[in-house]
Amino acid sequence: MSGKGNCYDNAVVETFFKSLKAEMLWRQSWPTRRQAIAAIFQYINGFYNPRRRHSCLGSINPLAFKAKAA
């Protein structure tokens, strides 16, 4: 976190939560909190980290980036 009043201090986290809500949470509902937590965990580790395109990697996913670099 940077100093008070800096508009960029939460930009990364806010972008992640926007993506999480738009791509997953607003489309489904879960009967229990445990199921919601498991679904969010699966979203992060199964889609967001390995397969979602990231602008910092030239708009390709991390798996393709690793394959390109190897």
Q: Which domain holds residue 62?
A: 11-69
How high is the pLDDT of residue 3? 64
How high is the pLDDT of residue 59? 83
Q: How far is CA 28 from CA 6, 17, 20, 23, 36, in A?
A: 34, 16, 12, 10, 9
Encode the chain (70 residues) as per-residue pLDDT tens digits: 556 666 666 777 888 888 888 888 888 888 999 999 999 999 888 887 777 777 778 888 888 888 888 7
Q: Is residue 4 part of a domain?
A: no
Q: Is residue 22 part of a domain?
A: yes
Q: Is residue 30 part of a domain?
A: yes
The domain total for the chain is: 1
Q: Is residue 5 part of a domain?
A: no
Tell me if 20 sits within 8 A of 36, measured CB to CB.
Answer: no
